[in-house]
Amino acid sequence: MRAAPTNQPRGTSGRPQLVQAMIDAFRTPDLRGKILFTLFILMVFRFLAHVPVPGADRDVLGQVFQQNDLVAFFDLFSGGGLRNLSVVALGVYPYITASIVIQILVPVIPRLQAISKEGAAGRQQINQFTHWLTVPIAFLQGYGQLLLFSRAGVFNTPITFFGDGALTTLTIVFSFVGGTMFLVWLGELITEKGIGNGLSIIIFGGIVASLPNVIGQGFLARDNISGLLVLVAVAAFLIIAIVIFTEAQRRIPVQYGRSVFRGGRMYRQSGATHLPLRVNSAGMIPLIFAFSIMILPGTIAQYIANPASDNFFARAATFVASAVSPASTFYWVMVFILVVIFAFFYTMVVFQQQQLAENLQKNGGFIPGIRPGPPTQQYLNRVIIRITWGGALFLGLVAIVPFFITRLTGIQAITLTSTSLLIMVGVALDTMRQLESQLLMRNYEGFLR
């Protein structure tokens, strides 16, 4: 009897194409070196994530993570370092914040806008500004998190820059800042000498490292098998949808005209290509903005709230803490609205910085039927706004998936973090795309077929 035929793509040796491509990658000395270098950097990162700062009560720290959604959200970008209160507890979140601030300021400040137009030198200087801004942001965020943990009883010594606890406070805060900058440096090393975007790979590694804990929580919920099956099915469907919307794009036809000299005479030549506009240009940034805004007021209100008090501010804080709690429907409705708003805001900010119409005109390109210059920019703005509706609504639905999953399955122990799925799928696609381009340069078949 012969085996039933399969539709899975296979390489020249009969193996599945993905497996064969991975074997070919490891057989190529320089690619093997890039992959092993990336894995080595991830090992260094995971080692640092388990080097704790002194003076923390681990039992109280675990209780804080169960009761506070803000620190649990920040732990996503620290790769578990914050849960262990390690020297890399801040992760690369201060650098991400600095990058977002710089991107927003570039079109606002004329000097920064002029620097951004200077090519590679301008991008390098903008990157340097981002590094400088990361240091004070990491310092303030590190001190703020120390105050948060101190009020929760994690530290026995006072957190202050004056008095008995000054030396301990400075030591921990500077450890946080140094850990963040060291992770940024490791990420840049991966980008330069490894495979994929370094900072994204580090965040990806932290999320993957937390998967065994999530799976363990799943085994604790074995009495709800139907809920677990629904959870797995929704997660699989969500991953497929994320892939589709991440890769979805509107291709705008573009033609280029140029003049060449042959035999002393000028000839006009033309070429056609396309301009890809992604449906989801903002990525995970809108979710970060929305969750940060919704979680922060509730966290602050928890320190003032007192239901038994006659004080107006204490009762108002109690109401705010209840209204913006992840257990309330209002919280998830506002998350959906904020994600949609920030998706449009961030997409338009980044899109205006690209100056596509101006670059097309400089290079002799034009969109058929559209006049170059301002009419082209207006046409592209209309297109990007229309397709962003699809990406924004999709991100909003992805953001509120945990609310519906909890209601549908009744499983409280597992949190299906949509932001984590977006990061993992996006980083995996980008890394495979870069590895595929390296393989195609060496006449191998790639992953994405």
Q: How far apart are CA 77 and CA 365, in angstroms?
A: 41
Distances (CA, A) of 160 to 54, 82, 146, 156, 175: 15, 20, 9, 12, 16
Q: How confident is the model at residue 447 (pLDDT cuts 50, 70, 90)?
A: low
Predicted TM-score (pTM) of this structure: 0.74
Rounded to 5°, the CA angle 170-294-64 comes to 50
Q: Contact at 8 Å (CB) between 380 and 268?
A: no
Question: In terms of pLDDT, which residue wins out, 91 or 326?
Answer: 91
CATH topology of domain 224-419: Preprotein translocase SecY subunit (1.10.3370)
Q: Would you say the CATH fold of 224-419 matches that of 10-209?
A: yes
For the chain, the average pLDDT equals 76
Q: Both ends of the chain: CA-CA distance in Å?
A: 30
User: What are the boundaries of each domain within the chain?
Assistant: 10-209, 224-419
Across 73-101, average pLDDT: 78
Q: Are 161 and 146 in contact (CB under 8 A)?
A: no
Give the CATH H-level superfamily of domain 10-209: SecY subunit domain (1.10.3370.10)
How sure is the predictor about 160, in pLDDT bands with cuts at 50, 70 and 90? Answer: confident
The SS3 assignment for 294 reads helix
Token pair recorded at residue 430: 């980008």
Q: Mean per-residue pLDDT for 34-52?
A: 88
Q: What are phi and psi of 28, to 5 degrees?
A: -85, 120
In angstroms, the CA 33 to CA 195 distance is 10
Residue 346 one-letter amino acid: Y
pLDDT band at 192 (very low <50, low <70, confident <90, very high): confident
Q: How many residues does the chain have?
A: 449
Asked whether the predicted pLDDT for residue 171 surpasses 80, the reply is: yes
Number of neighbouring beta carbons within 10 Å of residue 157: 15
